[in-house]
Amino acid sequence: MSNIETIVIIGAGQAGASAILELRGSKFEGKIILIGDEAHLPYERPPLSKDVILKPDETKVEILSEEKLAALGVEHIRGNGAVKINPEAKTVELQKGDVIAYDKLLLATGGAARRLPNFDALGQHVYTLRNLEDSQALVPVLQAGQRIVLIGGGVIGLELASSARFKDCQVTVIEMGPMVMGRSSPRILSEFLLAQQRLAGVDVRLSSSIAGCRLEQNPQGEEVVISLEGGEELRADAVIYGIGIVPNAQLAAEAGLAVDVAIQVNEHGQTSNPDIYAAGDVATQLRADGQYRRVETWENANLQAGIFARHIMGIQHPAPNPAWFWTDQLDINYQFAGDMAAEEWIVRGEIQPEQRAASSFVLFGVTDGIIVGGITVNAAKEMRHLKKMIAKQAVFEAEKHLDLSLDLRKAA
C-alpha cells in the first residue's frame, strides 16, 4: 500500500464516483485523479429516463459536487477524455495531449448506445438515451399529442414509454422478442408489465421486426415512417431506440488487456494487467461458477467500485449480496433480487393487472425448493427480507411465505 501514490480513474460516472468515496472511506491518502470526457460533474443515470424528462427544473443528478470533490482531494479533469493507455510506462494520454502517470488505474468507461444505422441515417427525429444531453434533448420532444415510437421493450424502453405517457404522448413500443423485459424478468412479471403499459394507453407490439424506415413530408413538417415485416407502416413524430449498450472497451483492447465483449476482470476487479482494474458496465467479471458475466445495474457499478477500492487497500471483501436492481414505471416500483431464471415463480398476495398502479405483491423465485430470487411490486419494504432469504438459501415454505397475516420479516 505504501508504494501507491497516485490512483487514476478513467470515467466520471457511477462506478468512478463510487470508487472515490470507497477509497477515501478506506483511508487512502494518496492522489486521486478523475478523468472524464463529459463536461459534467459525476452524475447518476437512473433519473435520465424519468425525472430529468418529467421534472427537469427540479431534478439534481450530481453524485459529487465541486465542493465535495475538493473536500475529497480529487483532481477532476473534465471534457478531456483518455485516448491511450501505456501499461509499460503506467501513463494515460488525454485528448488534449496531457500525459498522466498512475500507480493503479481504474477503467470505469461504461458503455455507448448500441446503434441502428438505418435510423441514424435519417438524422433528425431519431434519438437514443445514454447521457445527460440525450435526456435533456427529449424534454421538448415528448410533448402532448406527439406520436412517439420506442424501439426496444427493455427497461429503458418501458421507462421512456411511461414518461412519454405522463407527458400525454401517443406511444408505440416495438419489441422483437415475445416478452417485454425478457432479458431481466420472468414471464409472470413480464405479462403484468405488458398489461400495465397497455392499460396506460401504450401500443406494445411484440415479436415485431422492422423492415425499413424513411422520412416523409406531412402538412406539419416531417415524420418518420417505419415499415414492419408484415407490411404495416407506423408514422411517428419522433423515434427513440434503446436496444442495449456496447461496452466502451476500446482503450483496454488497444492497451493489450484481455477483452471479450467487455474488459475481463477477476474477482478483485483486476484486468489481465494487475495494476489496471475495471468496474461497471464496461467490466465482465469472473464469478464463483467460473464464468465471466457482465451486469448493467446501478448497484453493480457500486459493488465493483467497492471491490476495487478494498483490494487496493488490502481490505477483505464482504460476502456478496444477491444481485439487485429496480425500475419505476407508471407510478409502480419494481425491485428484483437474485436469480431471474428460477424454475418457478410463486405469488404472495394477488396480481391484479387491471388495477393500474394499485397492485401490490411479492414473487418468490424457487429452484429445487430453495428461494433463489425475489421480486417486489409496490412492496419495497419487503425487499430486504427477500434478500436475506436468498442469501441464506432458505427453503420455500408455502404455508409460511404466502400467509399474508404473517410478517415476511419474521420468515426471513
Instruction: With respect to residue 236, please indicate whether it lies within any of the assigned structural domains.
Output: yes
Whether residues 108 and 120 fall in one domain: no
Backbone angles phi, psi at 48, to 5 degrees: -65, -35
Helices and strands of the chain, counted as H and E runs: 12, 26
**Last residue of one domain, picked from the residues 313, 342, 365:** 313
Whether residues 123 and 225 fall in one domain: yes
The pLDDT tens digits along the chain (412 residues) read 458 999 999 999 999 999 999 999 999 999 999 999 999 999 999 999 999 999 999 999 999 999 999 999 999 999 999 999 999 999 999 999 999 999 999 999 999 999 999 999 998 899 999 999 999 999 999 999 999 999 999 999 999 999 999 999 999 999 999 999 999 999 999 999 999 999 999 999 999 999 999 999 988 889 999 999 999 999 999 999 999 999 999 999 999 999 999 999 999 999 999 999 999 999 999 887 888 999 999 999 999 999 999 999 999 988 888 999 999 999 999 999 999 999 999 999 999 888 776 789 999 999 999 999 999 999 999 999 999 999 999 999 999 999 999 999 888 7
Select from 197, 103, 188 the least CA-distant residue to 150.
197
Whether residues 229 and 249 fall in one domain: no
Instruction: With respect to residue 325, please indicate whether it lies within any of the assigned structural domains.
Output: no
Residue 357 confidence (pLDDT): 67
Residue 320 confidence (pLDDT): 82
CATH number at residue 359: 3.30.390.30
Whether residues 233 and 124 fall in one domain: yes
Instruction: With respect to residue 322, please indicate whether it lies within any of the assigned structural domains.
Output: no
Select from 379, 385, 376 the least CA-distant residue to 408.
385
User: Alpha carbon 407 to chain centroid distance?
Assistant: 32
Instruction: With respect to residue 55, please indicate whether it lies within any of the assigned structural domains.
Output: no
Instruction: Name the residue with cell 495531449.
Output: 97
Distance between CA atoms of 207 and 329, rounded to whole angstroms?
22
Residue 68 confidence (pLDDT): 98
Whether residues 138 and 177 fall in one domain: yes
Whether residues 237 and 119 fall in one domain: yes
Element (H, E) at 292: strand 292-293
Query: For residue 53, what is its C-alpha cell?
Result: 424528462
What does DSSP assign to residue 140?
A: T
Q: In what order do the strands lie in the sheet with 292-293?
A: 263-265, 283-286, 292-293
Select from 13, 15, 6 the least CA-distant residue to 278.
15
CATH number at residue 227: 3.50.50.60
Q: How many domains does the chain have?
A: 3
Instruction: With respect to residue 1, please indicate whether it lies within any of the assigned structural domains.
Output: no
Instruction: With respect to residue 54, please indicate whether it lies within any of the assigned structural domains.
Output: no
Distance between CA atoms of 282 and 300, rounded to whole angstroms?
11
**In 110-173, which residue ranges form alpha helices assigned H by DSSP?**
117-120, 132-138, 155-166
31 lies in which domain range? 6-45+62-112+245-313
Instruction: With respect to residue 323, please indicate whether it lies within any of the assigned structural domains.
Output: no
Other beta carbons within 10 Å of 95: 13
Instruction: With respect to residue 56, please indicate whether it lies within any of the assigned structural domains.
Output: no
**Last residue of one domain, picked from the residues 182, 215, 241:** 241
Whether residues 106 and 125 fall in one domain: no
Distance between CA atoms of 155 and 297, rounded to whole angstroms?
11
Whether residues 171 and 220 fall in one domain: yes
Residue 155 confidence (pLDDT): 97
Select from 282, 380, 391 the least CA-distant residue to 327.
380
Whether residues 264 and 237 fall in one domain: no
Whether residues 304 and 343 fall in one domain: no
Whether residues 270 and 251 fall in one domain: yes
Is 393 exposed, middle or buried, given 0-12, 13-18 or 19+ CB atoms closer than 10 A? exposed
Residue 100 confidence (pLDDT): 98
Whether residues 230 and 166 fall in one domain: yes
**Last residue of one domain, picked from the residues 255, 280, 313:** 313
What does DSSP assign to residue 38?
A: S
